[in-house]
Chains A and B, each alone.
Chain A
Amino acid sequence: MTSDTRVILICSGKGGVGKTTLTANLGISLASKGCPTAVLDADFGLRNLDLLLGLENRIVYTAQEVLEENCRLDQALVKHKQQPNLSLLPAGNPRMLEWLKPEDMQKIVEMLNDQFQYVLIDCPAGVEDGFKNAVSASKEAIIVTNPEVSAVRDADRVIGLLNTHGVKPVQLVLNRVRPKMMQSQEMLSIDDVTDILALPLLGLVLEDEQVIVSTNRGEPLTLVGSNSPAARCYSNIASRLQGEEVPLIDPAKEGSSLKDKFRRLMQTKIF
């Protein structure tokens, strides 16, 4: 596996747009398709990936002990019980931020390269040291954003930085899409966002209450084989990442009531 390992940074600039949720769901989804996958929590300040995966009680060692050579990598990796193709490398103490360097992140990722086909890095928000460390260890990136002005603006900033660091390809995931608001043109459309950011769209994720339910339980939607809208979106994204061609869910076609049809009529371009 070694050098064909895909090391993918999942980043956004703005916080709270859905990076950690995507990392967890994508990790489970890739693992269940048979790919050995590691998810690395690089958000040392505000770690959460363990919680979303339901692994918070199984952490013994973290990336910190691995770097300090106080344990072996395989002692720190937490293997998911229901999906053993997935392992989490937990973030260490927030105080790690004081000494962590880009070389440390590179060292961790190099170790993971030997065993895994995918390494997904859950990036911290912001564009400071935590982000720079994570970028330095990544080959490609997924930008997560929401159809909102602040999230798109911050994504643009991050795209510029990824370009200067030579990270590519960079693909876009548009999260928390609300079809009804898009239909009534009270939310930026898919095309608006992809045109403005000039990135290929890896996928969109619909706004879905089940995301919250699944985080409450520590069971990602893709783990429990849910058929909820967001679950389908996450699994499509995993397939596209592997090179399969899966058509995009068309938010304009979600909903078939008379009201939805009227909304679509109002959206027709007349000139």
Chain B
Amino acid sequence: MTLRDLINKLLGRQQASAATARERLQLVLAHDRTDLSPDLLDQMREEILNVVAKYVEIDVEEGAVSLETEDRMTALVANLPIKRTLSGEIKLKEPSPEVSSNQDPN
């Protein structure tokens, strides 16, 4: 965060447009590079959640599947907070095991 961002925030003003441009680009490029539309991603999220739910009880509301990119590498990141295994014992209270698979954009 820069001094300008802080002042804008304190005054309740919109952030400078370069930051918005950067965020929008990162999102749109993650989709362009994998050729995945938000719709397809949603469908995939649903299916992944269903598969995982066969083994562990997960917090469906909190579960998120997203694309993240760094250095022309795009990763599919699933963050699925586990409530308990199906056999009943409480496995993890706090969320955060990550399932991720890397993929080269080309």
B89 touches A (CB below 8 Å): no
Task: Report yes or no: A160 in contact with B1, Cβ–Cβ below 8 A.
Answer: no
Contact (Cβ within 8 A) A196 B1: no
CB <8 Å contact, A188 and B18: yes
Contact A270 B19, CB 8 Å, known A153-B28, A160-B33, A164-B106: no
Residues 1-47 (chain B) with a chain A CB within 8 angstroms: 1-7, 16-19, 21-22, 24-26, 28-29, 32-33
For residues 142 through 192 of chain A, which have their beta carbon under 8 Å from a beta carbon of chain B? 148-149, 152-153, 156-157, 159-160, 163-164, 182, 184-189, 192
A153 with B32, Cβ < 8 A, contacts A198-B71, A265-B3, A267-B3 known: yes
Q: Give bound CA distance, A266 to B71, whole Å.
A: 28
Closest chain B CB from A269 CB (angstroms): 6
Residues of A within 8 A of B5 (CB): 185
Residues of B within 8 A of A267 (CB): 2-4
Q: How far is the CA of A158 from the CA of B65 in the complex (A)?
A: 27
Interface assignment of B91: CB less than 8 Å from any CB of chain A: no
Chain B interface helix/strand/loop/mixed? helix
Question: Does chain A have a CB within 8 A of B95?
Answer: no
Interface residues on chain A, number (Cβ under 8 Å): 28
Q: Is the CB of A188 within 8 A of B72?
A: no
Q: Which of B6, B7, B71, B72 has the most CB of A within 10 A?
A: B72
Known contacts A149-B21, A156-B29, A160-B33: A185-B2 contact under CB 8 Å = yes
- A196 touching B3 by the CB < 8 A rule? no
Cα–Cα, bound, A192→B7 (Å): 21
Residues on A with C-beta less than 8 A from B1 are 269-271
| Smallest CB gap from A183: residue in B | B4
The yes or no answer to A57 lying at the interface (CB within 8 A) is no
**CB <8 Å contact, B106 and A163:** yes
Inter-subunit contact B16/A188 (CB<8 Å): no
| A82 close to B (CB within 8 Å) | no
Residues of B within 8 A of A3 (CB): none
State in angstroms the CA–CA spacing of A4 and B57 once bound together: 62
Compute how far the CA of A185 lies from the CA of B14 in the bound complex, rounded to whole angstroms: 12
| Nearest chain B CB to A126 CB, angstrom units | 16
CA distance A268 to B2 in the complex (A): 5
Q: How far is the CA of A159 from the CA of B28 in the complex (A)?
A: 15
User: Within 8 Å CB of A182, what residues of B?
Assistant: 18
Closest 3 CB pairs of A and B: A185-B16, A266-B4, A198-B72
- 28 residue pairs of the A-B complex, CB under 8 angstroms, read A148-B21, A152-B25, A153-B25, A157-B32, A160-B105, A184-B16, A185-B2, A185-B4, A185-B5, A186-B18, A187-B17, A187-B18, A188-B21, A188-B22, A188-B25, A192-B18, A192-B22, A196-B22, A196-B25, A196-B29, A197-B72, A198-B71, A198-B72, A266-B3, A266-B4, A267-B2, A268-B3, A269-B2
